Amino acid sequence: MPKKRTYELAGFGERLAQLRKRAGYTQVELAEELGTSQRMIAYYESRSIAPTALLPAIAKALHITIDELLGTTPLKKKEPKPRNTRLHRRMAQIEQLGPKEKRQVLQFIDTMIEREQWKKKANA
């Protein structure tokens, strides 16, 4: 007699959307992380399961196991990790730039921060 499944794979798309949001990703950002398109992420979230070859990358990006992604095991009650926010991902990309480009980006950021500080002083 075959073993009875004690888990349900239905609802993968909804679970993926919830886990993506929990990790701080938009569909576009997760697609970039995985090297696919936003349209494919939307498809996986709406009515399908992702290709099995993509499951390890999705789980890694969301900081969970494949079993947790599939819903075969419950999510572990871990201490929440710092969210991998859009800002943090952009900062990591800036770190990969060459010295000249990095200096230009930092000068722009410094200018924006200084501008906001001047505005606050003027309004005080």
Domain boundaries, the chain: 7-76, 85-124
Distances (CA, A) of 37 to 14, 44, 49: 18, 11, 15
Q: What is the mean pLDDT of residues 1-18?
A: 65
Query: What does pLDDT average to over the chain?
Result: 83
Q: Residue with structure tokens 């992380």? A: 33
- Compare 75 and 96 and report the one with higher pLDDT: 96
pLDDT confidence of residue 56: 94
Whether the pTM exceeds 0.85: the reply is no
CATH architecture of 7-76: Orthogonal Bundle (1.10)
Distances (CA, A) of 117 to 33, 104, 107, 122, 124: 34, 20, 15, 9, 11
- Compare 30 and 90 and report the one with higher pLDDT: 30
pLDDT confidence of residue 88: 78
